[in-house]
């Protein structure tokens, strides 16, 4: 009985031959993401905008219209209500109130009194404007620091072409993730920042695996054309890359559908990140090495792979 295989044992996909297509597609994706973000902005969560968020379970399903009318008459400014999974799970968002923490607590009390008894208050979060601004910039610094640290690590471990190629591919993943969140209007909060950082780690792990095989083949094959060598390196690691991504996606899809509304946007970001990260590691990072002028160093002849070659001869 033969085994089912997603990837053939010896794949021979011409990644380098299609590099122009990949470059054009990635350029369109990145530019579109920047354009959507510039035009539409992000649906920032309360972590970044400040305000009050209350999650309740109502005693009677389908009360969201009545509740919206009641709360808008309280004079608390912008009020948003949305169903949070089931029709009796309601998420209430209020803009930050002037007067500090006491004003926020007073607003929460007014909401509870207006809605009456019989409701279950599951979660109440208060975030001031100063804290939300600090959280936003801390998130930006975290992502930029991660990208710079990855650039430094790859540069030291390999060569500058590897480091620059990895960061370009990684930036492509991060920008496209921001673009898809802006396009779909998904909430962008601290959990999403955590997802972006996780995507960066996952994507760079795939990229390093492919780059490591490229370095091995540079030492092993001294006269093989560079485009052919890069193509073979991508194909040799293709099975590992695809199977790792598929098993990760199985867990993330289950988390998206069954993990609850609170982590759904996080799971979506991870699903998108795994897909786009797998694409960029193979179809973007490797062809970029050729574009950046990767060449064999003279001291590669002294590497351990050369010794193996001489012994086999």
Regarding whether 186 and 78 lie in a shared domain, the answer is no
pLDDT given at position 3: 56
CA pair distance 29, 205, nearest whole angstrom? 22
pLDDT given at position 296: 63
Q: Find the domain containing 85 and state its range.
A: 51-127
Domain boundary among 67, 99, 127: 127
**Count of structural domains within the chain:** 2
Q: If DSSP codes are grouped into helix, strand and coil, which group holds residue 176?
A: helix
Q: How, if at all, do strands 51-57 and 79-84 pair? A: unpaired
Regarding whether 212 and 266 lie in a shared domain, the answer is yes
pLDDT given at position 297: 61
From the centroid of its chain, how far is CA 267? 10
pLDDT given at position 9: 66
Domain boundary among 127, 158, 193: 127
pLDDT given at position 20: 92
Threshold 0.85, pTM exceeds? no
pLDDT given at position 176: 93
pLDDT given at position 279: 92
Q: Which residue stretches of the chain have pLDDT < 70? A: 1-9, 84-85, 128-131, 261-262, 296-313
Regarding whether 35 and 94 lie in a shared domain, the answer is no
pLDDT given at position 216: 87
């Amino acid at each position: 009985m033969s085994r089912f295989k997603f990837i053939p044992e010896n794949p021979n996909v011409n990644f380098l031959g299609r590099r122009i297509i990949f470059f054009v597609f990635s350029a369109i994706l990145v530019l579109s993401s920047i354009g959507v973000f510039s035009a539409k902005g992000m649906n920032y969560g309360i972590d970044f905008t400040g305000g009050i968020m209350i999650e309740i379970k109502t005693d009677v399903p389908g009360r969201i219209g009545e509740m919206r009318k009641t709360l808008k008459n309280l004079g608390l400014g912008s009020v948003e209500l949305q169903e949070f999974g089931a029709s009796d799970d309601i998420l209430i968002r209020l803009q930050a109130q002037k007067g500090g923490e006491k004003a926020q607590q007073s607003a929460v009390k007014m909401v509870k009194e207006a809605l009456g008894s019989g409701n279950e208050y599951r979660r109440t979060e208060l975030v001031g404007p100063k804290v939300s601004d600090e959280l936003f910039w801390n998130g930006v610094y975290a992502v930029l620091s991660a990208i710079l640290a990855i650039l430094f690590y790859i540069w030291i471990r390999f060569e500058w072409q590897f480091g620059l190629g990895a960061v370009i591919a990684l930036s492509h993943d991060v920008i496209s993730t921001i673009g898809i969140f802006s396009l779909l209007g998904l909430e962008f909060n601290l959990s999403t920042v955590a997802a972006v950082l996780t995507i960066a780690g996952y994507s760079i792990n795939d990229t390093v695996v492919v780059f490591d095989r490229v370095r091995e083949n540079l030492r092993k094959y001294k006269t093989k054309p560079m485009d052919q060598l890069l193509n073979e390196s991508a194909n040799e690691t293709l099975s590992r890359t695809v199977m790792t991504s598929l098993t990760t996606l199985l867990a993330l899809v289950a988390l998206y559908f069954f993990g609850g509304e609170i982590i759904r946007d996080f799971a979506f970001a991870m699903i998108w990140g795994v897909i786009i990260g797998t694409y960029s590691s193979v179809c973007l990072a490797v062809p970029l090495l050729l574009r950046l002028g990767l060449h064999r160093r003279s001291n590669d002849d002294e590497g351990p792979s050369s010794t193996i070659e001489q012994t086999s001869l």
